[in-house]
A and B are shown apart, each in its own frame.
Chain A
Amino acid sequence: MLEIKNLNVSLEEEEKQILKGVDLTVEAGKVHAIMGPNGSGKSTLSYVLAGRDGYEVTDGSATLDGTDLLDLEPEERAAEGLFLAFQYPVEIPGVGNMTFLRTAVNAQRKARGEEELNAAEFLKLVRAKAASLKIDADMLKRPVNVGFSGGEKKRNEILQMAMLEPKMCILDETDSGLDVDAMKLVAEGVNALRDEGRAFLVITHYQRLLDHIKPDVVHIMADGRIVKTGGPELALEVEENGYGDILAAVA
């Protein structure tokens, strides 16, 4: 589904290469995890895939079901079925969460040539999905992420994911800032979305999240490339021994 080949990326504003030839293939129905130390380029990878400004792709490609992502605007990537759950969800004062969700859902439906949801249909859908994530009516009414706790922000990301039903979901350190209960709730939300047609790329520092969202494949990223790939046991190895041993072994 997601195919990344030899992806090289630099920061636009300074001559600093962050990604140095990332190769990664995520198949439909699978959950891949990327782990790695700080500064290894994990978040950059997620931003580049989602289309954030400020990065320059100097080589390589990234495709989603054969469509070249790197040529598309962020909204076009979203319409293709790509979704990034932000590490730091953005607070947008003055934009109601509900308005935001409905605009996003309908923008994507429109882009795909589907009928837009009317207010009643939308409300019914969002209420059902919000309830399973323990998001109350008040959170839906408030401005996007404004005054939300860390856990509420992450749950709101998962709600967006559930509403938009993307086929390729990237979760960028969704566990950061979450206590155990909140993490369970978020993981349940993610697990509920797992199906044969959907793939996940879960970026995390810690093995903890992977106890709840069981990965099929685990990649270790260091210094801008994937240095080791294995099964779930790789995450446990990191948890026990840190990155040092793995990095030393591949160096």
Chain B
Amino acid sequence: MGLALEKDDPVAALVDRLSRDGTDGGWAAEARSAALSRLAGMGLPGRRDEYWKFTNPAPLTAAAAADVAAMPDETADVFAEATPLRLVFVDGRFDADASDALALDGLEIETLATAQAADIHWARDVYGVLEAAGQSPVERPLAALNSAVARDGIVIRATGQVTRPVQFHHRHTAASADCAVHHVIRVEEGAALTVLETGAAAARFNKVMEVEVADTGRFNHVRIQGRDRERLAATHLFARLEAESAFKSFTLTVNGALTRNECVIELTGDDATAHVAGACIGEGDFHHDDTVFITHDAVNCESRQVFKKVLKSGATGVFQGKILVQPDAQKTDGYQISQGLLLDDDSQFLAKPELEIYADDVVCSHGSTCGAVDETSLFYLTSRGISKEDATDMLVLAFVDEAIQEIEDDALADVIRAQLAGWLDRRRG
């Protein structure tokens, strides 16, 4: 791999575990080698790292992951009405037979392995590049690890108005599945693309998605994580947004022993917008961490972060969100809200909202709250004959709805609402 690592080095152990055979063209070999160097330079995250203050990274960095029983495949068709082009990953490996053909009007699409094997490819300007840029000012070693080892993923270049969404659907079948998946997306000028993600992926899942949106391009992302209880997951979404582009990402998470979703966005072109939102519901052995870093590097851009966490029976929710406004990013409009709803006294919500502003003509606000279900609302609902359990679910759904409203497409938002309502119902049943 071009870099000598000590045999008992934990970095080497992880790289070794996650590496798979494949063919690298020149650009891919370089990108992989550069990522490995970054990783070696940083080392793996530890409990003492400020950025991991609320989340113990040990299970994510251990040489091996504990087995997790495979999940029944239940979310493959949730977005069926949107008629997505469905691409299936089984235990983190792309499964061409189970997937739709890699062809869709308005975009070029291929597997990461195919792109990596080519000597020359446009993906060289994105793969590992956005990730590398996202390593400063805060290091994200697990993302570098992913760039260093990944061989599975999808590479998409949207060139027009893509009418059907692209769905990455995961199936988890082998209890020991421990994998890295890396998607590369470029939305060209004036193009629009929606990416959906569903399914339980693996016992331990490391995923990176790099998204570059050119001038006036639009990218929408809706993801459902769950319902696998014991999974470990570290995901990174890196985005670079050029002038007048629009980016929206929403994640619904249910269950999961440890999930760290990082989202790193740089607004590099004027008048761009970025909305990142998430809703999670967990109980018991559940630790969910949303870490967001949005850098405003251009004039008149807007960013929103809306995160809602519903926690019960010892669950932990973490939010670390930052808005960094660079000196030239005048007229920035930044907003951030994170809220925890604790359904009992055993759960906790930990939040670190941060604003760092170097421009003088900006509007930035942030808020973070934590509380229980409102007793007055609960009484009002139950006094109309609605059971306490149903009333609580209604209030939970209402609580997370502000995040769901961030989804651009109303029909997709309704799918999320229905999915969540169904899961809440099942949890009680």
Q: Does chain A have a CB within 8 A of B375? A: yes
CB distance from B374 to the nearest CB of A (A): 8
Residues of B within 8 A of A94 (CB): 395, 397-399, 401-402
Residues of A within 8 A of B384 (CB): 75, 78, 100, 104, 107-108, 160, 164
CB distance from A157 to the nearest CB of B (A): 10
Taking chain B's interface residues, is the majority helix, strand, or loop, or is none over half, making it mixed? helix
Residues of B in contact (CB 8 Å), total 22
- Asked whether A75 and B379 contact (CB < 8 A) given A93-B398, A95-B398, the answer is no
Report yes or no: A164 in contact with B388, Cβ–Cβ below 8 A. Answer: no
Report yes or no: B387 in contact with A75, Cβ–Cβ below 8 A. Answer: yes
Q: Does chain A have a CB within 8 A of B382? A: yes
Residues 375-405 of B at the A interface (beta carbon under 8 Å): 375-377, 379-388, 390-391, 394-395, 397-399, 401-402
CB distance from A125 to the nearest CB of B (A): 16
Which listed residue, A99, A100, A107, touches B387 by the CB 8 Å rule?
A: A107
Residues of A within 8 A of B390 (CB): 103, 107
* 0/1 interface trace, chain A 34-51, chain B, CB 8 Å (1 if under): 000000000000000011
Report yes or no: B394 in contact with A95, Cβ–Cβ below 8 A. Answer: yes
Kindly state the separation between the CA atoms of A120 and B375 in the bound complex, as whole angstroms: 32
Which residue of chain A lies nearest to B384 when distances are taken between CB atoms in the complex?
A104
Report yes or no: B394 in contact with A100, Cβ–Cβ below 8 A. Answer: yes
- Asked whether A107 and B377 contact (CB < 8 A) given A94-B399, A95-B398, the answer is no
Which residue of chain B lies nearest to A94 when distances are taken between CB atoms in the complex?
B398
Q: Does chain B have a CB within 8 A of A84? A: yes
Kindly state the separation between the CA atoms of A53 and B372 in the bound complex, as whole angstroms: 15
Which residue of chain A lies nearest to B396 when distances are taken between CB atoms in the complex?
A94
Of the four ranges (under 10, 10 to 19, 20 to 34, 35 or more), the interface on chain A belongs to 20 to 34
- Asked whether A74 and B397 contact (CB < 8 A) given A103-B390, A107-B387, A107-B390, the answer is no
- Asked whether A75 and B395 contact (CB < 8 A) given A90-B377, A94-B401, the answer is no
Which listed residue, B376, B387, B397, B402, touches A90 by the CB 8 Å rule?
A: B376
Kindly state the separation between the CA atoms of A128 and B379 in the bound complex, as whole angstroms: 27
- Asked whether A52 and B379 contact (CB < 8 A) given A94-B401, A95-B398, A103-B394, the answer is yes
Kindly state the separation between the CA atoms of A83 and B382 in the bound complex, as whole angstroms: 11
CB distance from B93 to the nearest CB of A (A): 40
Which residue of chain B lies nearest to A74 when distances are taken between CB atoms in the complex?
B382
Residues of A within 8 A of B398 (CB): 92-95, 143
Which residue of chain A lies nearest to B398 when distances are taken between CB atoms in the complex?
A94
Report yes or no: B380 in contact with A78, Cβ–Cβ below 8 A. Answer: no
Kindly state the separation between the CA atoms of A192 and B405 in the bound complex, as whole angstroms: 39
Residues of A within 8 A of B379 (CB): 50-53, 74, 90
CB distance from A76 to the nearest CB of B (A): 9
Kindly state the separation between the CA atoms of A108 and B384 in the bound complex, as whole angstroms: 8
Kindly state the separation between the CA atoms of A212 and B401 in the bound complex, as whole angstroms: 41
Kindly state the separation between the CA atoms of A93 and B394 in the bound complex, as whole angstroms: 11
Report yes or no: A111 in contact with B385, Cβ–Cβ below 8 A. Answer: yes
Which residue of chain B lies nearest to A82 when distances are taken between CB atoms in the complex?
B383
Which listed residue, B385, B395, B397, touches A79 by the CB 8 Å rule?
A: B385
Q: Does chain B have a CB within 8 A of A136? A: no
CB distance from B371 to the nearest CB of A (A): 14
Report yes or no: A107 in contact with B385, Cβ–Cβ below 8 A. Answer: yes
Residues of A within 8 A of B375 (CB): 53
Which residue of chain B lies nearest to A161 when distances are taken between CB atoms in the complex?
B384
CB distance from A55 to the nearest CB of B (A): 12
Kindly state the separation between the CA atoms of A143 and B402 in the bound complex, as whole angstroms: 12
Report yes or no: A104 in contact with B397, Cβ–Cβ below 8 A. Answer: no
Q: Does chain B have a CB within 8 A of A239? A: no
Residues of A within 8 A of B394 (CB): 95, 99-100, 103
Which residue of chain A lies nearest to B376 when distances are taken between CB atoms in the complex?
A90
Report yes or no: A84 in contact with B387, Cβ–Cβ below 8 A. Answer: no
- Asked whether A78 and B397 contact (CB < 8 A) given A90-B376, A94-B402, A103-B390, the answer is no
Which residue of chain B lies nearest to A105 when distances are taken between CB atoms in the complex?
B385
Q: Does chain B have a CB within 8 A of A122? A: no
Residues of A within 8 A of B399 (CB): 94
Residues of B within 8 A of A78 (CB): 382-385
Report yes or no: A50 in contact with B386, Cβ–Cβ below 8 A. Answer: no
CB distance from B421 to the nearest CB of A (A): 10
Residues of B within 8 A of A160 (CB): 384
CB distance from A115 to the nearest CB of B (A): 16
Which residue of chain A lies nearest to B389 when distances are taken between CB atoms in the complex?
A75
Q: Does chain B have a CB within 8 A of A86? A: yes
Kindly state the separation between the CA atoms of A86 and B381 in the bound complex, as whole angstroms: 12
Residues of A within 8 A of B397 (CB): 94-95
Kindly state the separation between the CA atoms of A103 and B383 in the bound complex, as whole angstroms: 12
Kindly state the separation between the CA atoms of A70 and B219 in the bound complex, as whole angstroms: 56
Residues 300-327 of B at the A interface (beta carbon under 8 Å): none
Kindly state the separation between the CA atoms of A77 and B383 in the bound complex, as whole angstroms: 8
Kindly state the separation between the CA atoms of A102 and B391 in the bound complex, as whole angstroms: 13
Which residue of chain B lies nearest to A166 when distances are taken between CB atoms in the complex?
B385
Kindly state the separation between the CA atoms of A171 and B211 in the bound complex, as whole angstroms: 58
Report yes or no: B388 in contact with A73, Cβ–Cβ below 8 A. Answer: yes
Kindly state the separation between the CA atoms of A53 and B377 in the bound complex, as whole angstroms: 12
CB distance from A207 to the nearest CB of B (A): 27
Which residue of chain B lies nearest to A54 when distances are taken between CB atoms in the complex?
B375
Which residue of chain B lies nearest to A50 when distances are taken between CB atoms in the complex?
B383
Kindly state the separation between the CA atoms of A51 and B387 in the bound complex, as whole angstroms: 13
| 18 A/B residue pairs, CB under 8 Å, sorted by A | A75-B384, A75-B385, A75-B391, A89-B380, A92-B380, A92-B395, A94-B395, A94-B398, A94-B399, A94-B401, A95-B381, A95-B398, A99-B394, A100-B394, A103-B390, A107-B384, A107-B385, A160-B384
The 8 closest A-B pairs by CB, nearest first: A94-B398, A78-B385, A104-B384, A108-B385, A90-B380, A74-B382, A94-B401, A75-B382
Using a CB–CB cutoff of 8 Å, the interface residues on chain B facing chain A are 375-377, 379-388, 390-391, 394-395, 397-399, 401-402
Using a CB–CB cutoff of 8 Å, the interface residues on chain A facing chain B are 50-53, 73-75, 77-79, 83-84, 86, 89-90, 92-95, 99-100, 103-104, 107-108, 111, 143, 160, 164
* Additional A-B contact list (13), CB under 8 Å, known A75-B386, A100-B384: A51-B383, A73-B382, A75-B382, A75-B387, A78-B384, A79-B385, A92-B377, A92-B380, A94-B402, A100-B381, A104-B384, A107-B385, A108-B384
